[in-house]
C-alpha cells in the first residue's frame, strides 16, 4: 500500500519504522570502526548527490532511511573509538534513549507551568551533580545559586558575561555609555568563545585583555593583577575574569585560588570554564581541578564532552541566581501565569538566551542512573589511566617530545623533525581514515593533540593507534 | 543477570531497550488524550518524588524507563490535539526519527570538516525551502545570502541584531562608544525576544523604540518614520528594525513594504520575524505573508512551531552572509584546517552563537521528504480552514467578540462579561485538563487566545473544545 502524501505517520508505522531506526543505530555502532574516522569527501560532493528540489509527493519512510547511504560518506565519526581530535563528544546508549524520550514527548520547558517535570528534574539532577563532583554548595538551588542546562559552553560563558556586565553597570548597560569602560580578562590560551562572547555582548574587543601564561600554559596571576591595575589607573572598570580549568589546546589549569583572590580584592566576576575537564571531579583523586572553585561566581562544564551525554548538554552554575535572572528576565503578558506570579517556581527562560527549551535533563537523568556514580568514575578513571600509558610510550621514544603537562586525558606532543614534518604526519594519519587527530600551536610550534574520551576507546585502541603513528613516521622518515 | 555499574550498554541491549522506548512513545501518542493537557501538579511535587541523591551503583534500564511514571504527572502535553495555548510546537513521526538518527550518530557540525554532510544537507534543505515558500532568492546560498538553523527565533533575532550592529559600527562596536548611539525599532506587539536581544547585545533598553500599532495590532509605519527622524535629529544612529509577520499575541501582520521602504531610505537593517506564521507560505494562497519580504536583510521562521519538525529548529536567512560571518567569526589555531583555508566550504560555527552544532537538518530532511510539499500544504491548509470554522462558531454566538483579525490559525476572542470572567473561564478550562488555552492583553482587555497547530488536531477536536467552552460558560453564568 502506497503512502499518501497528506497523511501523518500512524503510531503503527512509527513502531515499525522506529524499530528499524534503532537497529540502524545499533548496526552503526557495531560497524563504526570500518568507516574512515575523518570524512574523506570533497567540498560539494554530498550536496551533488541530493535532488535539486524538494519532492512534491511524500516518500516512503524506508526510502528516506536509505538516503542515509548518500550521507554517510560525509560523516566524520565522532563516536569512533579512534576519534582523538578536538575534545571528546562522547555519547552512550542510555543518553540516546533519554534524548529519544524527550524528542518523543515534544514538550517545551520555557516556564515551569509548560511542563513542571522538565524544570524540576533539571534542577534536581544539577543539584545532584554538585554533590557528585563536590562543587561549592552555593551552586545549589537550595542555596543562593542554581544550575541550568545550556546548549554549549559558548552560551554558558556568554550568559555569565552578560550577568557580570549587568551587575557592574547596575542593569543600566549603555544608559551612560558605561559598557564602553568595562574590561574583561582571560588567558591567551582561553577558548575562542570568550572573545566571541565579548563581541556579542557589545563590550568591544579593545576591552578584552589576554593574560600571559606560564610555562605550563596556565594564566599568570601576577600579569592579571598588573592588567587590572593598569585599567583601573585609566578609569576603566574591570568586570569579568574567565579562568579555564583544562584549556582547549593543552588542558592547562589556571590557578583558581590566586585568580580568585584577585577577583575578590577588586570585586570582579569570576567565571570558570571547565567545559571538557569538569567531569574529572566525579573521581575524588582528580578533585584538584576544583581547588579555588569556591571563589567562582559561575561555572560551566559539558556532560556532552566527557560524561557520556549526547550533545547538546552544557551545565551552567551561578552562585547568585538573582543577578542572572535580573539580567535576562523579560515578562510579556502572554507568558504570565499564577505559578510565575507566586515566585515559588523556577522559570528557566530567564536563565539563558532562548525562550523555548527541550527536556534536556532527561538524558542526564538516564546517564547518571544507568551508570551510577561509580560507573561514571570507572569511565573517567579508565581514560586517564590509558592516557598516562600512551604518554609513557611517547616518552619512551626519544624522537618525540611531550610539550605540556598531561593532567588528565589529552597529550600534546611533537616529533623532533619540525613543524612541517608534524603537520604532514597529522594530515597523513587523518587521510588514512584510521585515526583522527587535530593540532594546536604552542610557543609557535605545530603540536599534535591526542585527546582520549570516546565511550568505546580502550587501551587496545590506543596501542594500535600508537603503532600506526610509528609506522607512518617510519614511512615519512624514509622519504 | 544483573547489570554492572561500570559497563556501557551493549548494542544488543540498546536494540532491546530502544525498541521498548519506541513502543513507549507510540503508546504515549495512542493515549495522549487521556492526560490532562496542562499538568495539574503543585510546585515541588515532582521533585519530592525523586531520590535525594544520585545512585552509587548503576540501575537497570527498565527501571529507569519506569521513572517516567513519576515524571508524567508533571508533563504539559504540547502534542495533545487539545493543546491550544501559546503557539503550536508540532512534531511528527518522521521528525522524531530524523532526530533520533542525529542523536545516534552523535556528530558535531561546528565546521564543514567535522561532518561535511551535516553542513551540506543543512545548506541544501534551506535552499529548498526558499523555493518551497517562494522566498526572495537572495536568501539562497547560491546567491549572496544563505540559511542556517538556530535553536530558536530568540537566537535568530539576536544574531540578526548583532550583524546589524556590526554593519553599522563597521565592526568597531564599542571602540568609539558608538553602540551607545545605535537605536532599534519594533512594534509594541513584537515578541519579548527583541527586547531581550537588545539587552544581551549591550545596546541598552533606552535605545529600543516601541512603535505604535494600528487597529489590527500591526506596526504603524508613519510612527516608525517619526521615531527614526526624531532619533536622527538627536544624533542617534537608527540601526535595526524588526518587523513581525504574525505577532505572538494576535498574529498581526506588520506592513513589510512600507516598513521596507523606510529601512531602505535610511539604510537600516530590516529583520523579519515570522516565527510561527512563516510556514503558511508553503501554500500559494497564504503567500500574502511574503509581501515586501524582498526588503528584508534577514528572516526567521520556526519549523518547530508549525511545520511538524520537533523543537529545536529555527530557520534563519540572511541576504548578505559576509556581514553575518564577519560579525561572529573567530578562528583559533585548533580549528584551522585546509578546507576552511580554501574558502570553498561553509563553517556554520560563524553563523550563530554556539560553536558545537547538532545535525539538525536531518529532521527537516525527514519531514520534507516524508510529507512532500503537497503533504505539508494539506497540513497547513487544514489548520487554517478549521480555524476559520471555529471562528464562525464564535462569531455566531453574540456573547463573544473576536477582537483581532484571524489571518491564519489563531483566534483572539472574549466573552462580553469582562476581564475577570474571561480570566476565570481560562483558568477553569485549563484546570479541567480537557483543553489548554493561554491569554494576552489587547487594548487593556484580557483576551483568550485559541491557537490551532498541533499535528493531531482535527475539526472534531475543535468542535468538542468549543462545546466544552460553551458548557463551562453556562456553568459560570449560573454563578
Instruction: Please report, for the domain that includes residue B29, its CATH number.
Output: 1.20.1340.10
Residues 6+ apart with CB under 8 A from B346: B112, B119, B123, B141, B146
Residue A399 phi, psi (nearest 5):
-75, -15
State yes or no: pLDDT of B48 exceeds 60.
yes
- Is A39's CB within 8 Å of B155's CB? no
User: Considering only CB atoms, which chain A residues are within 8 Å of B443?
Assistant: none
Beta-strand pair B269-273/B298-301: parallel
Crossing angle of helices B153-168 and A192-200, in 10° steps, is: 80
User: Considering only CB atoms, which chain B residues are within 8 Å of A11?
Assistant: 26, 29-30, 93
Confidence of residue B170 (pLDDT cuts 50, 70, 90): confident
Distance between B393 CA and the closest CA of chain A, angstroms: 24
Residue pair B180/B204 in contact by the 8 Å Cβ criterion: yes
Q: Does the residue B433 lie in any domain?
A: no
User: Considering only CB atoms, which chain A residues are within 8 Å of B124?
Assistant: 47, 50
Same domain (yes/no): B293, B147:
yes
User: Considering only CB atoms, which chain A residues are within 8 Å of B118?
Assistant: 74-75
* Cα–Cα distance for residue pair B472/B466, rounded to 1 Å: 10
CB pairs under 8 A between A and B: 514
Cα Rg of chain B (Å, integer): 24
- What's the full length of chain B, in residues? 479
Distance between A105 CA and the closest CA of chain B, angstroms: 7
Same domain (yes/no): B179, B211:
yes
Kindly state the helix (H) or strand (E) to which residue A478 belongs, with its residue range.
helix A459-478
Confidence of residue B174 (pLDDT cuts 50, 70, 90): low
CA A234 to chain CA centroid, nearest Å? 36
* Cα–Cα distance for residue pair B399/B401, rounded to 1 Å: 7
Same domain (yes/no): B39, B73:
yes
Give the pLDDT confidence of A106-130 residue by residue, as tens digits. 999 999 999 999 999 999 999 999 9
Count CB atoms within 10 A of the CB of residue A442.
Answer: 20
Count CB atoms within 10 A of the CB of residue B393.
Answer: 15
Residue pair B369/A67 in contact by the 8 Å Cβ criterion: yes
State yes or no: pLDDT of A153 exceeds 70.
yes
User: Considering only CB atoms, which chain A residues are within 8 Å of B57?
Assistant: 372, 374-375
Same domain (yes/no): B70, B102:
no
* Cα–Cα distance for residue pair B35/B387, rounded to 1 Å: 24
Same domain (yes/no): B30, B154:
no
Give the pLDDT confidence of A378-412 residue by residue, as tens digits. 999 999 999 999 999 999 999 999 999 999 999 99
Burial of B239 (0-12, 13-18, 19+ CB in 10 A): buried
Please state the rounded mean pLDDT for residues A344-352.
93
- Is B108's CB within 8 Å of A89's CB? yes
- Is B117's CB within 8 Å of A354's CB? no
- Is A354's CB within 8 Å of B77's CB? no
Distance between B94 CA and the closest CA of chain A, angstroms: 7
Per-residue confidence (pLDDT) for residue A170, from 0 to 100: 74
User: Considering only CB atoms, which chain B residues are within 8 Å of A371?
Assistant: 5-6, 58
Question: Among A361, A369, A379, which residue's Cα sits nearest to residue A283?
Answer: A379
Q: Which of B366, B389, B410 is the last residue of a domain?
A: B366
* Cα–Cα distance for residue pair B118/B214, rounded to 1 Å: 44
Q: Does the residue B426 lie in any domain?
A: no
Distance between B74 CA and the closest CA of chain A, angstroms: 4
- Is B342's CB within 8 Å of A43's CB? yes
Q: What sign has the CA pseudo-torsion A67, A68, A69, A72?
A: positive
Confidence of residue B213 (pLDDT cuts 50, 70, 90): very high
Question: Among A156, A155, A370, which residue's Cα sits nearest to residue A147?
Answer: A156
User: Considering only CB atoms, which chain B residues are within 8 Å of A427?
Assistant: 338
Residue pair A316/A325 in contact by the 8 Å Cβ criterion: no
- Is A115's CB within 8 Å of B76's CB? yes
Interface test with A, best of B45, B81, B117 (most A CBs within 10 A): B117
Q: Does the residue A417 lie in any domain?
A: no
Distance between A356 CA and the closest CA of chain B, angstroms: 7
Same domain (yes/no): B106, B219:
yes
State yes or no: pLDDT of A476 exceeds 70.
yes
Q: Which CATH number does the domain housing residue A362 bear?
A: 3.40.640.10
Confidence of residue A175 (pLDDT cuts 50, 70, 90): very low
Burial of B300 (0-12, 13-18, 19+ CB in 10 A): buried
State yes or no: pLDDT of A1 exceeds 50.
no
Question: Among A93, A46, A312, which residue's Cα sits nearest to residue B121?
Answer: A46
State yes or no: pLDDT of B4 exceeds 80.
no
CA distances from A158 to A35, A299, A374 (A): 36, 12, 33
User: Considering only CB atoms, which chain B residues are within 8 Å of A446?
Assistant: none
Q: Which domain holds residue B248?
A: 97-366
* Cα–Cα distance for residue pair B302/B89, rounded to 1 Å: 9
Per-chain mean pLDDT for chain B: 94
Per-residue confidence (pLDDT) for residue B176, from 0 to 100: 46
The secondary structure of B160-225 as a DSSP string is: HHHHHHHHHTTT-TTTTSGGGGEEEEEETTS-HHHHHHHHHTT--GGGEEEE-B-TTS-B-HHHHH
User: Considering only CB atoms, which chain B residues are within 8 Å of A342?
Assistant: 43
Model pTM score: 0.96
Per-residue confidence (pLDDT) for residue A438, from 0 to 100: 96
Q: What sign has the CA pseudo-torsion B414, B417, B419, B420?
A: negative
Q: Does the residue A30 lie in any domain?
A: no
- Cis bond leading into A430, ω under 30°? no
3-state DSSP assignment of residue A317: strand
Question: How many structural domains are present in chain A?
Answer: 1
Nearest CA in chain B to A72: B117
State yes or no: pLDDT of B6 exceeds 80.
no
* Cα–Cα distance for residue pair B307/B88, rounded to 1 Å: 9
Same domain (yes/no): B66, B135:
no
Q: Does the residue A117 lie in any domain?
A: yes
Kindly state the helix (H) or strand (E) to which residue B120 belongs, with its residue range.
helix B116-132
State yes or no: pLDDT of A238 exceeds 90.
yes
- Is A14's CB within 8 Å of B29's CB? yes
Same domain (yes/no): B346, B259:
yes
Task: For residue B54, give the C-alpha cell.
Answer: 544520585
Q: Does the residue A444 lie in any domain?
A: no
Per-residue confidence (pLDDT) for residue A226, from 0 to 100: 98
Give the pLDDT confidence of B438-457 residue by residue, as tens digits. 999 999 999 999 999 999 99
- Is A47's CB within 8 Å of B455's CB? no
DSSP state of A145: -
Q: Give the lowest-confidence range in B200-204, B208-212, B372-376, B417-421.
A: B200-204
Interface test with B, best of A69, A149, A334 (most B CBs within 10 A): A334
User: Considering only CB atoms, which chain B residues are within 8 Å of A26?
Assistant: 11-12, 14-15, 18
Angle at CA of residue B464, ends B462 and B466, nearest 5°: 65
Residue B336 phi, psi (nearest 5):
-70, 140
More confident residue, B203 or A251: A251
- Is B370's CB within 8 Å of A64's CB? yes
- Is B124's CB within 8 Å of A39's CB? no
Question: Among A407, A471, A76, which residue's Cα sits nearest to residue B119?
Answer: A76
Question: Among A105, A102, A146, A145, which residue's Cα sits nearest to residue A123?
Answer: A146
Per-residue confidence (pLDDT) for residue B339, from 0 to 100: 82
Residue pair B378/B384 in contact by the 8 Å Cβ criterion: no
Question: Among A124, A21, A123, A96, which residue's Cα sits nearest to residue A370?
Answer: A96
- Is A64's CB within 8 Å of B365's CB? yes
Q: Nearest Cβ partner of B128 from A53, A79, A114?
A: A53
Per-residue confidence (pLDDT) for residue A177, from 0 to 100: 54
Q: Does the residue B432 lie in any domain?
A: no
Per-chain mean pLDDT for chain A: 94
- Residue with grid cell 575534545, as numbered in its chain: A87
List alpha helices for A243-337, DSSP H.
Answer: 256-266, 303-306, 321-328
Same domain (yes/no): B70, B157:
no
Crossing angle of helices B153-168 and B321-328, in 10° steps, is: 90
- Is A6's CB within 8 Å of B375's CB? yes
Burial of A114 (0-12, 13-18, 19+ CB in 10 A): buried
Confidence of residue B334 (pLDDT cuts 50, 70, 90): confident
DSSP state of B60: -
Q: Does the residue B243 lie in any domain?
A: yes
Residue pair B187/B221 in contact by the 8 Å Cβ criterion: no
Give the pLDDT confidence of A284-331 residue by residue, as tens digits. 999 999 999 999 999 999 999 999 999 999 999 999 999 999 999 988
Amino acid at each position: 500500500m502506497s503512502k499518501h502524501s497528506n497523511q501523518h505517520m500512524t503510531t503503527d508505522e512509527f513502531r515499525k519504522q522506529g524499530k528499524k531506526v534503532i537497529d540502524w543505530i545499533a548496526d552503526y555502532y557495531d560497524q563504526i570502526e570500518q568507516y574512515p574516522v575523518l570524512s574523506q569527501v570533497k567540498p560539494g560532493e554530498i550536496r551533488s548527490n541530493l535532488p535539486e528540489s524538494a519532492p512534491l509527493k511524500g516518500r516512503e519512510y524506508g526510502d528516506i532511511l536509505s538516503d542515509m547511504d548518500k550521507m554517510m560518506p560525509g560523516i566524520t565519526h565522532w563516536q569512533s573509538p579512534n576519534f582523538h581530535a578536538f575534545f571528546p563528544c562522547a555519547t552512550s546508549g542510555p543518553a540516546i534513549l533519554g534524548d529519544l524520550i524527550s524528542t518523543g514527548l515534544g514538550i517545551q520547558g520555557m516556564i515551569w507551568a509548560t511542563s513542571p517535570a522538565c524544570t524540576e528534574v533539571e534542577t534536581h539532577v544539577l543539584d545532584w551533580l554538585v554533590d557528585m563532583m563536590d562543587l561549592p554548595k552555593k551552586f545549589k538551588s537550595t542555596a543562593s545559586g542554581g544550575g541550568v542546562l545550556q546548549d554549549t559552553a559558548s552560551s554558558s560563558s556568554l550568559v555569565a558575561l552578560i550577568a557580570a556586565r549587568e551587575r557592574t553597570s547596575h542593569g543600566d548597560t549603555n544608559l551612560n555609555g558605561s559598557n564602553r569602560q568595562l574590561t574583561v580578562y582571560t588567558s591567551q590560551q582561553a577558548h575562542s568563545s570568550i572573545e566571541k562572547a565579548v563581541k556579542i555582548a557589545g563590550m568591544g574587543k579593545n576591552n578584552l585583555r589576554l593574560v600571559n601564561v606560564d610555562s605550563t600554559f596556565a594564566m599568570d596571576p601576577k600579569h592579571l593583577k598588573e592588567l587590572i591595575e593598569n585599567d583601573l589607573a585609566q578609569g576603566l572598570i574591570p568586570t569579568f575574569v574567565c579562568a579555564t580549568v583544562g584549556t582547549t589546546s593543552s588542558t592547562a589549569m589556571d590557578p583558581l585560588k590566586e585568580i580568585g583572590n584577585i577577583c575578590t580584592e577588586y570585586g570582579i566576576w569570576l567565571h570558570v570554564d571547565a567545559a571538557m575537564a569538569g567531569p574529572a571531579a566525579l573521581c575524588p583523586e582528580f578533585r584538584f581541578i576544583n581547588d579555588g572553585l569556591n571563589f567562582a561566581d559561575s561555572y560551566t562544564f559539558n556532560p556532552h564532552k566527557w560524561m557520556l551525554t549526547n550533545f547538546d548538554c552544557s551545565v551552567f552554575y551561578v552562585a547568585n541566581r538573582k543577578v542572572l535572572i535580573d539580567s535576562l528576565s523579560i515578562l510579556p503578558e502572554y507568558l504570565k501565569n499564577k505559578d510565575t506570579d507566586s515566585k515559588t517556581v523556577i522559570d528557566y527562560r530567564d536563565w539563558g538566551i532562548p525562550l523555548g527549551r527541550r527536556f534536556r535533563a532527561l538524558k542526564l537523568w538516564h546517564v547518571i542512573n544507568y551508570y551510577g556514580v561509580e560507573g561514571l568514575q570507572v569511565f573517567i578513571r579508565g581514560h586517564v589511566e590509558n592516557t598516562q600509558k600512551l604518554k609513557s610510550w611517547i616518552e619512551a621514544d626519544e624522537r618525540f617530545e611531550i610539550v605540556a603537562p598531561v593532567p588528565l586525558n589529552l597529550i600534546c606532543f611533537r616529533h623532533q623533525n619540525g613543524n612541517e614534518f608534524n603537520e604532514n604526519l597529522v594530515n597523513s594519519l587523518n587521510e588514512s581514515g584510521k585515526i583522527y587527530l587535530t593540532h594546536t600551536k604552542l610557543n609557535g610550534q605545530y603540536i599534535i593533540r591526542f585527546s582520549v574520551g570516546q565511550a568505546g576507546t580502550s587501551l587496545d585502541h590506543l596501542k594500535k593507534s600508537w603503532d600506526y603513528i610509528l609506522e607512518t613516521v617510519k614511512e615519512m622518515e624514509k622519504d
